[in-house]
Structure 1
Amino acid sequence: MTRATLLTITRPTSAPGSAAEGDTGSGFEAVDADAPQVRLMDLGLTRGDGVFETISVVDGHPQALDPHLQRLAHSAMLLDLAEPDLDVWRRAVLAGIETHRSNGGDARELYAKLILTRGVEGTGRPSGWVFVDTAEDFTAARQGIRVVTLDRGYRHDVAETSPWLLQGAKTLSYAANRAGLREAARRGADDVIFVSTDGFALEGPTSNVIVRNGNTVRTPQTDQGILAGTTQASVFAFFEEQGFDTVYERIPAAELATADELWLVSSVRQAAPVTDLDGTPFTVDAERTAALNAFLLARTS
């Protein structure tokens, strides 16, 4: 089995003084993925004070690389982190993929995880890594998943009323999302759709929600503290090519049960059709879902 590939970002942000000692000029360097890398007092470890992105890599191509990098920068801005040096991160992702494939990691589907933290407490120097490895086999999930709705504990307008809660940022503070997935498992389900306390559908712990009713395909609009989805944008492109109308809007959670089809979509897993939501069965159009996933896996931008 091919070992994972890891690059340390020695110049993770464009802020003066952010480069580590020994920076070669490329802004990153390959390191041993099995060797210790994180200092105990790194704020990403002790506080979850950092951001990340996970990029699907298909046939050596990182999908939606620029949108992922822009979202990394947006998340960093919401956390008041210094602006990431996106040229460095872009080159590091490409170098990591090339290194991994040249070392025998030639599986069709890989993933690249980008991690940026505030760094060791008191140093003012951020930490960054790019990790590349073989993706999990999501064949079963792409055929269907069982989902439950869970109350997120916030109103739909929390991003406007309480921006300090960082809804809409892809942060390392994922404990609540993981807890939601464990609760789903306790209820005999595979995944979650979070809903607001005032009754609107939001997103999954690691995914966006896609709802089809007739010829209209909808997703919850992102001003509700929802992470803007790179895969969701590609899903809309697929349906638009098929002649469907696509809409961003506030979707009452009660309307999910009346959908003709539901999907949870994300990088790496792609589109997972919902077969059951809170005990309500859904029919999966296997042919449409297969075509959608083929479209997603063939993306070049």
Structure 2
Amino acid sequence: MRFQDARRIFSAVQKAVRQAIVQSTSAPHLSLGTPTPAPPAQEPGAQERLSGWAARRDQILQAGAHGQQALDLYTPPPETEVPLVPRAPVSPTSALPEAVEHPAPSRTMGPSGGQGLPPLRVVGQVGATYIVAEGPEGLYLIDQHAAHERIMYEKFMAQRHGSGVARQGLLDPLTLHVGDALAGLVAQHLDELAAVGFEIEPFGGDAFLVRSVPSVLAGQDAARVLEEIVHGLVEERDLVGEELEARLVKMVCKRASIKAGQVLSDIEMKELVRQLEACQSPRTCPHGRPTMIQLSSGELERAFKRT
């Protein structure tokens, strides 16, 4: 077969074959002497912070993947239902009383009439220590440890004035040695310790036998908790009766509460905030520290220069 323009056909075929070969072959990268820019120098400790945050991020993402931890939160007693009493028949000649409208209770008022919390929407957790929430008045940053202390304290106080503090019996009673100098002090306050859930009896000399602890301390190191409480008794020598019991309750709640650095799942954060809303004094912990800080919508707008 002969073509009218054989040279033109040959050139076209040659060009197509060359392009196919070039495209199918990965050519090595050639450096033509242009220096490769060095990566920017990191400040000291930057790599450690990045690796630490990566580990915490993975922990946050996995929170709740293996089941929720049961948080011992305060459940307020159910409201007493008012029985319906049948009305007496009204005489046609009797005057009807004027209807009085009672305003619905506001969610911003606490059970005792003090300033409470509005309904909050949980946004997330910062530093495994603070819960970020949104409310009608702006942004709330909640200290999870202080908030749980408040919840536990009000639960304890409700139990003390109700059916009594729930106890957890020890399978093997704990023998606690407090030393001769403190044995008399502990023996003097066995009733107050019993009122907050510790069943303790003298065991001879400086030893005491611990048979039960408050149920909120289940799984905790009971010996260490009691050592802290005994030293607390030394610091609170002047307190007696209910004042001392309240102080002991605060010690127990501090020990049993969620700690800073503990990653919480969304469900746990929402439950903690919901229980905090039900507290009588949700804005401070039992020791007087704030449980939260609040940034109003106006403060946020001013910070971003939107006003």
Same topology, TM > 0.5 = no
TM-score, normalised by the number of residues in structure 1:
0.25
Q: TM-score, normalised by structure 2?
A: 0.25
Of Structure 1 and Structure 2, which has the larger fraction of its residues in strand?
1
Name the structure where helix makes up a greater proportion of residues: 2
Higher relative contact order (CA 8 A, sep 6+): 2
